[in-house]
């Protein structure tokens, strides 16, 4: 009996130590910043930047009210291959448009999109940039802001990436999610500055990234004020590009927002050479 009691005592101690070790490692993973990042220059640069700008004795100290970080989205925060998510939304909105206007079924670029959606991926090469612009205007405008919001949310809830077979909103990059969380933990206000549609990204930015809609800057079309058939006021999305938030358009779009006037701009997380203009005004 003494041997059994002794063995039971040892087993209990081992179990307790194992439990403490597991929970300790989990707690460390939760508290250590950028835990999914490999140790290296990139990770250290982010840690050094945050320390340098949040330490009061540092010459580069930035007051909390002026701490702002901007992020590109496609290819930076979530997947962009094999095709931009919003482009997929545009393409998959064409059948409803054709159903309402059957004559479009034999007219390019709508007919080309129907080929693509039937499985002819090679047909994508037939679409030119003017074609995509025409499709975007046809599927993203001509309805009220509320109607667009409802349609976009419905698509986002059901659509899945053709490669990963998962909702687009689940295909974000964990390392970048950690950067967002780390910056916010250090009193940085995080923004998305994207070439994608501002109204589209605002539908999911808060639930996916923790970034509220008002902190999303993107390409935008004009709107007009009017009334629906019941006499209720509404804003209608018009087929006129108001802001092209690409290339030089990014710093121009940033300038339109009050926070851009902060004397200490902004840490930018963008990956494209075309976004150099954003860095140059930082």
In contact, 93 and 148? CB cutoff 8 Å: no
Q: Phi and psi at residue 76, in whole multiples of 5°? A: -110, -50
> How far, in Å, CA of 54 to CA of 46, rounded?
12
Q: What is the value of pTM for the model shown? A: 0.82
Digit-coded pLDDT (tens) for 149-207? 999 999 999 999 988 999 999 999 999 999 999 999 999 999 999 999 999 999 999 99
Per-domain residue ranges for the chain?
43-78+161-280, 81-140
Stronger pLDDT, 91 or 279, i.e. the higher one: 91
Look up residue 114 and give its two tokens: 């129907």
Q: How far is C-alpha 31 from the geometric centre of its chain's CA atoms?
A: 24
> How far, in Å, CA of 160 to CA of 158, rounded?
7
Strand partners, 256: none
Whether domain 43-78+161-280 has CATH 3.10.20: the reply is no
């Amino acid at each position: 009996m003494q041997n059994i009691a002794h063995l039971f005592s040892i087993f209990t101690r081992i179990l307790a130590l194992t439990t403490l070790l597991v929970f300790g490692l989990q707690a460390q993973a939760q508290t250590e910043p950028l835990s999914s990042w490999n140790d290296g220059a990139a990770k250290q640069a982010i840690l050094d930047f945050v320390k340098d700008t949040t330490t009061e004795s540092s010459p580069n100290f930035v007051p909390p009210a002026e701490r702002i970080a901007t992020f590109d989205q496609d290819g930076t925060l979530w997947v962009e291959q094999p095709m931009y998510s919003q482009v997929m939304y545009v393409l998959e909105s064409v059948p409803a448009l054709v159903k309402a206007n059957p004559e479009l079924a034999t007219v390019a670029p709508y007919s080309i999109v129907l080929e693509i959606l039937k499985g002819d991926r090679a047909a994508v090469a037939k679409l030119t940039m003017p074609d995509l612009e025409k499709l975007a205007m046809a599927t993203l405008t001509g309805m009220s802001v509320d109607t667009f919001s409802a349609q976009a949310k419905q698509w986002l809830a059901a659509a899945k990436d053709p490669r990963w077979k998962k909702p687009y909103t689940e295909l974000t990059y964990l390392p970048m999610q950690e950067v967002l969380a780390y910056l916010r933990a250090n009193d940085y206000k995080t923004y998305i500055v994207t070439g994608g549609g501002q109204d589209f990204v605002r539908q999911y930015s808060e639930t996916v990234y923790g970034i509220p809609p008002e902190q999303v800057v993107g390409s935008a079309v004009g709107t007009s004020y009017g009334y629906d058939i019941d006499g209720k006021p509404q804003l209608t999305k018009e087929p006129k590009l108001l802001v092209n938030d690409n290339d030089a358009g990014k710093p121009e779009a940033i300038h339109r927002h009050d926070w851009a006037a902060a004397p200490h701009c902004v840490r930018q997380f963008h990956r494209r050479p075309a976004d150099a203009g954003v860095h140059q005004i930082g």
